[in-house]
Amino acid sequence: MRPALAYRPGRDPLHAASAPAASLFLFAFALLAFVYSSPIVIGSVAVAALLIGIAAGARRTVFLTLRWGFAVALLMAIVNALVTDRGETVLARLGSAPVLGQVNVTLESLAYGVGTLGLRLIATLLVFAVYSACVDPDELLRLLRPIARRSALSASLVTRLVPVAAADLARLNEAVALRGPAAAPVGRGAMARRIVAGSLDRSIDVAATLELRGYSLPAVRGVRPPLKRSRHDRLFYALAALVAGAGIAGAIAGVGGFDTYPRIVIDTGPATLALAGALPLVAMAPFWIGRPRG
């Protein structure tokens, strides 16, 4: 079965766009998740990434990422609440722990853990999930090849090995279930050794194929690698510039403020709400504008 994060060809504007255009568009959203600490803005970035993924046919990818992201974000928030005792509103005093000392869970540390760290993680994961499912890695490698041939070779090898190794792992797990009751059970160590050995064998086979395709040939000078072009590219570039530009300008102007220590102060002014409201709309714009006519 295809791994959830694997690239899958599609016909929507994001798939049709060239790799640089699609990449810049997506990374503009990821950028805002780091420029801002406000859960309103970061949450909006997460919603935007979710909508892009759904519109681009990567529904399974984004929902699996969301589920996994929630679990990690929750863990992150709990750890932050336990290790940070800043904040004025103490919710629980958990006593003294050997390494941490006095452990107090504060509302502010929880707010920062959930509203900034957790949401940022979810938003970033969603953007990368959409990126890996919708941006053709072949095209990126093609761009990389003239600049860094060895890195492109390694990346090609890894790109191909990931689905092959995933399929191998699924088969090995089934093989464990097929062992007779009197056969030795397979521990994690033996399984890990088998997976590593199998991956090495597989990588040799894939590397042989790359060699046969001509990967080790010197780059041909004066020949530009073929790049996909799309009628949507300009729109994606423009929207990427708009998102990044407006986002950075807003941050400089103090839009989307969010302070948690010592007390929670969140900017819910019209500019912040407008920015948060605009991001999902901008995210959907290429799919609306670029839809087939007639």
Partner 1 sequence: MDSIVRIDGLSYRYPEGTADSLTDVDLQVEPGEFVVLAGRSGSGKSTLLRAACGLVPHFHGGEIEGEIEVTGLDTRDHGPAELAARVGFVSQDPETQAVSTSVAAEIGLPLELRGASSAARARAVEEVALALAIPHLLSRGTDSLSGGELQRVAIAAALVSRPELILLDEPTSQLDPVSGDELVWLLRRLNEEWGVAIVLCEHRLERCLAAADRVVAMDLGRVAFDGPPREFLTWALRSDPPLVTPSARLFDLAGIKPMPTGVRDARQTLADATAGGGGGGRPRAPWLPLSPSHPGERKRVGASGRSPAPAARPNLTIKNLWVELADADGPKQVLRDVDLELIAGETVAVMGRNGAGKSTLFRTAAGLVDPVRGKIEAEGVALLPQNPGDLLVRERVDEELPGPEGRAALAAVGLEHAATADPRDLSGGERQRLALAIVMAGRGGEADEPPGVLLLDEPTRGMDRSRKEDLAAFARELAARGSAVAIATHDVEFAAAFADRVVLFGEGEVIADGPVSELLSGGWYFATEVARVLGLPGVITAEQGAEALKTRSRVKA
- Which residues contact partner 1 by CB under 8 A? 1-2, 6-9, 60, 136-138, 142, 156-157, 159-160, 163-164, 167, 171-172, 174-175, 177-184, 186, 190-191, 193-194, 202, 205-217, 219-220, 223, 225-226
- Pick between residue 163 and residue 257 the one whose CB is nearest to partner 1: 163
- Least CB distance to partner 1 at residue 153 (A): 10
What minimum distance in Å lies between the beta carbon of 184 and partner 1?
5
Q: Which is nearer to partner 1, 167 or 266 (CB)?
A: 167
Integer Cα distance of 255 and 246 in angstroms: 10
Q: Pick between residue 188 and residue 293 the one whose CB is nearest to partner 1.
A: 188
Among 12, 38, 17, CA closest to 291: 12
Nearest-approach distance from CB 69 to partner 1, in angstroms = 21
Measured from the CB atom, the residue of 71 and 174 that comes closer to partner 1 is 174
Output 107 or 172, the one with its CB closest to partner 1: 172
CB 84 within 8 Å of CB 112: yes
Residue 40 and residue 14 in contact, taking contact as beta carbons nearer than 8 Å:
no
Least Å distance between CB 49 and partner 1?
21
The neighbouring-strand residues paired with 105 are 92
Of 60 and 234, which CB lies nearer to partner 1 in the complex structure?
60
The least distance separating partner 1 from the CB of residue 101, rounded to whole angstroms, comes to 46
By beta-carbon proximity to partner 1, the closer residue of 53 and 137 is 137
In whole angstroms, the minimum distance from the beta carbon of 139 to partner 1 comes to 8
The minimum distance between CB 61 and partner 1, in angstroms, equals: 10
What gap in Å lies between CA 243 and CA 276, rounded to an integer? 11
